[in-house]
Chains A and B, each alone.
Chain A
Amino acid sequence: MMLRRIARMDQGRGCNRHACHRRGAAARHRRLRCWLLALCCWLPFGAEAARLIEDSAGRKVAIPERIERVYAAGPPASILVYVLAPDKLTGWPRAPRKDERPYLAPATRDLPETGRLTGRGNTTNLEVMLRTRPDLIIDFGAVNATYVSLADQVQAQTGIPYLLIDGRFEQTPAALRLVGDILGVGDRGEARASEVEALLTTLDDVLATIPERERPRVYMARGPNGLETGLKGSINTEIIERAGGRNVADPGDASLRRGIVQVSVEQVIVANPDTIITWDPNFYRGVWRDPLWAGIEAVQRQRVFLSPLVPFGWIDRPPSLNRIIGLKWLASLFYPDQMPMDLRAETRAFYRRFYHVDLDDNTLEQLLQWTQGHPPN
């Protein structure tokens, strides 16, 4: 991902303040030129000084030097912005639910619901979005031609710069640095980025010693009956491979690796995963008593794991920075010896550094109960 600042354009309001106050014909000329110049600067970028940013799609977007308000185009972007600069978020794509609120910074719990601009289902009225007066729109996730054209269109229509940032795991550090820099919190971006990088490097070192065939065979159960899953290679399941597992839903051919699919229980029986991960409490409760799933190795070995969901899912839902804690957790489940994890301490630290909340013992305990298979009702 080639993301860098390309140019600065510092002409802005400076010229009309200083140069234009003199009198005389020459001065009047100059004043006119000056106004024109100011007008030119104002038209595309607002009255602010601007800089050019190249986003993950290779679009060159001029953005203001100082950004105070960011509109997140979807749930993944809202988490990225929240992690880096919670005070700059104009709203949540979906208002936080009651059970999610204790895990968010108090100042952000009551931000308005602003809808989704991209992704599956567009729920935003552009006027509602404009009413939040954002300086910048950020989308974080898959980058493809559809999203590029949508970004171009919204940018042209509203005049608000719109950045598309690649949301894949490997690009996470780069995204943190870039957006941290853009939002004026470069230090925080750098700190989080190196933290993620350190985790990815540690994982890579461990995985280098583990041959492919010794890695756990993992099935991600989604949906109320657990019969939806994400194919290998989709952004929804990439955490499986990143944590050192093998996704059993592998169509082989890379061209068939589209997102979420439906499978039959027979296919799960044939695939016979030794580990199942899910975030659906209904499925989790039912799977232990279900005769159809009883013969599956993961159930027999009690290796069905339930991911917490608050304030964001640990393994997906949405695919964003929330998966970092899930990545650590999954790796510790897959490789308890090589990737040990002090779940309590690390969860507390992650929630403090990424989500800006200090969890008290009770709240933390409730969260960790999920990982023990006891979601709150």
Chain B
Amino acid sequence: MDPGSPAELSLQRTLVLLVMLVSLLAIAAALIGPYSISPTQLIQAFAQRLTGRIDPALAATDTVLFSVRLPRVAAALLAGAALAAAGAVYQGLFRNPLVSPDMLGVSSGAGLGAVLGIFLSLPVPAIQGLSFVGGLATVAIVYLLASAVRGHEPTLVLVLTGIVLGALAGACLSLLKILADPYDQLPAITFWLLGSLASVRAADVLATAPLVLVALVPLVLLRWRVNLMSLGDEEAAALGVDPRRLRLLFIAAATLMTASIVAIAGVIGWVGLVIPHIARLLVGPNFNRLLPTAMLIGAGFMLAVDTLARTLAETETPLGVLTACLGAPVFVWLLASGRRGW
């Protein structure tokens, strides 16, 4: 498709619109919060940072803005984009619209890792590290087990193995919950499993962003091959690609993204499932166009939801609750409207 064609123009227009929308949302999110910051103060704070001279009167604003709120905005954008991208890849890879990034057990594994960390009363960075490792390890085990099984449709075996290991991780997690201190650890576990960006800080974003970017590289470079994969292994092989190696690469990339997000934000459901569908409605199933659109919508959606989460009440509303309340109706509507094509 040459760049001048109408479809490409409309994609560009969609993307430009989405970028503007997300930017507006980001500015709004930077201004909204329990600590009141006016637009003038926002500009002043940025100017101060650029000139390097911090006015003591604005020191508190500076802390809230640059250490609390903006890292959180960045984390929301990152989480939404990464989860939506991972979901889009998985849905193409498994040729199934009901697939979400935690299909192969990454969320269950990451959840188990984090809960183990809370159970052992480890400091926060260790909890995050365990969560990240847990997510990666679970998917690695799923992949290895599924590769060991031969003679069946490979994606089917992967999905079934993922479900089995996810359930196993869930069982271990329940066991830890039962053993945990009900007055101290159990609430922490519950909050963690519902997902939240409340405790995200700049260091978390700086640690996670490179991982997500690294994982994005193969997706962007090989984006048209995701389309081939969605035709099925035989067709993909006939078209000259190695489906097994590609699948491994895409699964590794999507898992890396999801695991790094889950490590800092906890388990956030629905985004990876619903956002790719909305993106598909806008720009069609071609992964070339789907990936940037889904990432932008995901980022904007996550940012909006997180801003709601921190402003709805005096305390934090869990992200998992909000994404489910917003995601479930959208999903039912998508099912009812009967559109197809992934």
CA distance A291 to B68 in the complex (A): 10
Segment at the B interface, from A39-47, A184-192, A256-264:
A256-264
Residues of chain B from 105 to 142 with CB closer than 8 A to chain A in the complex:
118, 121-124, 127
Are A120 and B184 touching (Cβ within 8 A)?
Answer: no
With contacts A224-B121, A262-B315 taken as known, whether A123 is within 8 angstroms of B33 at the C-beta atoms is no
Q: Verify B315–A269 contact, CB threshold 8 A.
A: no
B123, B127, B177, B184 interface centre (most CB from chain A within 10 Å): B184
Does B183 contact A291, Cβ atoms closer than 8 Å?
A: no
Instruction: Please report which residues of chain B, range 217-252, place their CB below 8 angstroms from some CB of chain A when the two chains form the complex.
Output: none
The residue from B63, B184, B191, B314 contacting A317, defined by CB atoms under 8 A apart: B184
Cβ–Cβ contact A292 & B68, under 8 A = yes
Provided the pairs A116-B182, A263-B315, A264-B310 are in contact, do residues A295 and B63 lie with their beta carbons within 8 angstroms? yes
A349 to chain B, nearest CB (A): 26
* Contact among A256, A286, A317 for B181, CB-based, below 8 A: A317
Determine whether the beta carbon of B198 is less than 8 Å from that of A121. Answer: no
Bound Cα distance from A224 to B124, whole angstroms:
6
Partner of A265, one of B68, B124, B313, B318: B68
* Those of B184-204 within 8 Å (CB) of chain A: 184, 186-188, 191, 196, 198-199, 201
Q: How far is the CA of A153 from the CA of B8 in the complex (A)?
A: 67
Contacting residues, chain A, for B198 (C-beta < 8 A)? 227, 262-265
Chain A residues positioned under 8 Å from B50 (CB to CB): none
Q: Evaluate whether A267 and B34 lie within 8 angstroms (CB atoms) in the complex, with A121-B178, A227-B199 already known.
A: yes
Residue A119 interfacial (CB < 8 Å): yes
Nearest CB to that of B123 among chain A residues? A282
- Closest-by-CB residue of A relative to B315 is A261
The answer for the CA separation of A280 and B122 in the assembled complex, in Å, is 11
Chain B interfacial residues counted at CB < 8 A? 37
| B177 adjacent to A291 (CB under 8 Å) | no
CB-CB under 8 A from B68, the residues of chain A are 264-266, 269, 292
Tell yes or no: B67 within 8 A of A by CB.
yes
Instruction: Identify A267's interface contact among B59, B188, B315, B318, CB under 8 A.
Output: B315
Contact present for A236 and B315 (CB under 8 Å): no
Note all chain A residues with C-beta closer than 8 A to B280.
none
Known: A228-B188, A264-B68, A270-B34. A282 touches B178 (CB 8 A): no
Q: Does A106 contact B (CB under 8 A)?
A: no
Q: How far is the CB of B23 from chain A (nearest CB, A)?
A: 22
A249 within 8 A of B: yes
B118 with A224: CB separation less than 8 A: yes
A261-B123 CB under 8 A given contacts A266-B68, A267-B34, A292-B63: no
Q: Note all chain A residues with C-beta closer than 8 A to B313.
A: 251, 256
Report how far A277 CA is from B16 CA in the complex, Å: 49
Query: B residues bordering A, Cβ < 8 Å?
Result: 33-35, 59-60, 63-64, 67-69, 72, 118, 121-124, 127, 177-178, 181-184, 186-188, 191, 196, 198-199, 201, 310, 313-316, 318
A-side residues, CB < 8 A to B, are: 75, 94, 116, 119-121, 123, 222-225, 227-228, 231, 236, 249, 251-252, 256, 260-267, 269-270, 279-280, 282, 286, 291-292, 295, 313, 316-319
Known: A222-B187, A267-B314, A292-B63. 10 other contacts (CB 8 A): A75-B182, A94-B181, A121-B182, A223-B187, A224-B122, A224-B123, A266-B310, A279-B184, A295-B59, A318-B183
